[in-house]
Amino acid sequence: MKNIFQDLAENPNLTTLSLEETADFLLSTPAESPPVVREDLNAFKICLREVNEDVRRAIENAELINMDGMSMVFAYEILYGKKFPRVTGCDLFIFLLSKLEKNNKTAYFLGATQETLDALVKVVSLRYNKTIIAGARNGYFKRSEWEDIIDSVNRSGADFLFVGTPSPQKEEFLNFAKSKLMNGMVLMGVGGSFDVVAGKVQRAPFWMQRWSLEWLYRILQEPRRMWKRYLVTNTRFLLFLLVAKYLLLCRRRKAPRA
C-alpha cells in the first residue's frame, strides 16, 4: 500500500494561488522564459496518474498546479490540514479569455470537433475580440501530425496554447511539444471547456460544483457515456483516500513522542 497523495503534497509547484492570482502569474510569463505548463488535479486525473506515465510526467514537470476538483480540495484538508482554493480549468480559461486583449496576448485553440471549434471561435470573436485568436485546429489528429501542429502554433505567435483534448492524449502531446514550442508560451489543458464556451454543454449549478457533485450532473447529462467512468474513478479515489489516511495515522502512532 502507498499514499499516492504524499509526493504531490511535497511538490512546490502545487499552488495556493487564487483564480485571479493564477491568471496574473500566467499573463506575466516573461517572453524569454521556456514554455510554462499549467496543470490541474481532480479525482480522475490523480487516478489516471497511477496507471499512465505521460500523465505522471506532465504533472511532475508542470510549472504550476491548481486544485481543479473539490474532491482534491477535501482530500488535502482531510489528510494534511492544508487548504487549497479550487481553480477549475474552465473558470480559469474563461477568465483568461477576458484578460487577453487588455494584456496584448493571443491564444491558439487546439481540440474538440470542427463544429465545436467553429462555434468557439465565433463566441470568442463576439464576446471578447477576434484579434486575440492566433489560430485554431480541431482535436482529431494523429501522432504523425504533431510536428506540423507545433509548427503551426509557433508560426501563429500565440502567447497561450489552450488544449481541449481529453487525458491522456493531452498530456502525451504536451510532453512532446513543450520543448519544441516558442519561449514565453503558456500551455494549458482545458478539458471540455471549449464545449462549454461554445454553448454545446452546460456546467453543473454552482451548488453542485461546491459540493463536488459535478460528476452526478455529467451522468445525468450523458448517462450512457459517463456512468462507468465516474463509478470506477470515484470508487478508486475513495479507496486511495482511505489508504492514505490509514497510512498517515499509522505513521503518527509510530512517531516517537517528545
Q: Taking CA 156 as the corner, what is the angle to CA 151 and CA 38, rounded to the nearest 5 degrees?
A: 80
The predicted-structure confidence for 196-232, as pLDDT tens digits, reads as follows: 999 998 888 888 887 777 878 888 887 887 777 788 8
Residue 257 is predicted with a pLDDT of 64
Cell numbers linked to 40: 490541474
The predicted-structure confidence for 5-51, as pLDDT tens digits, reads as follows: 999 989 999 999 999 999 999 999 999 999 999 999 999 999 999 99
Torsion of the alpha carbons at 207, 98, 61 and 13, rounded to the nearest 10: -60
Write the DSSP string, the chain: ---TTHHHHT-TTB----HHHHHHHHHT--TTSPPEEEEEE-HHHHHHHTT-HHHHHHHHH-SEEEE-SHHHHHHHHHHH-----B--HHHHHHHHHHHHTTTT--EEEEES-HHHHHHHHHHHIIIIIGGGEEEEE-S---GGGHHHHHHHHHHHT-SEEEEE--TTHHHHHHHHHGGGSPTT-EEEE-TTHHHHHTTSSPPPPHHHHHTT-HHHHHHHHSHHHHHHHHHHHHHHHHHHHHHHHHHHHHHHHHSPP-
Residue 258 is predicted with a pLDDT of 56
The predicted-structure confidence for 167-195, as pLDDT tens digits, reads as follows: 999 999 999 999 999 999 999 999 899 99
Q: Share the mean pLDDT of the chain.
A: 94
Residue 167 is predicted with a pLDDT of 94
Q: Are strands 64-67 and 36-41 parallel, antiparallel or unpaired?
A: parallel
Residue 208 is predicted with a pLDDT of 85
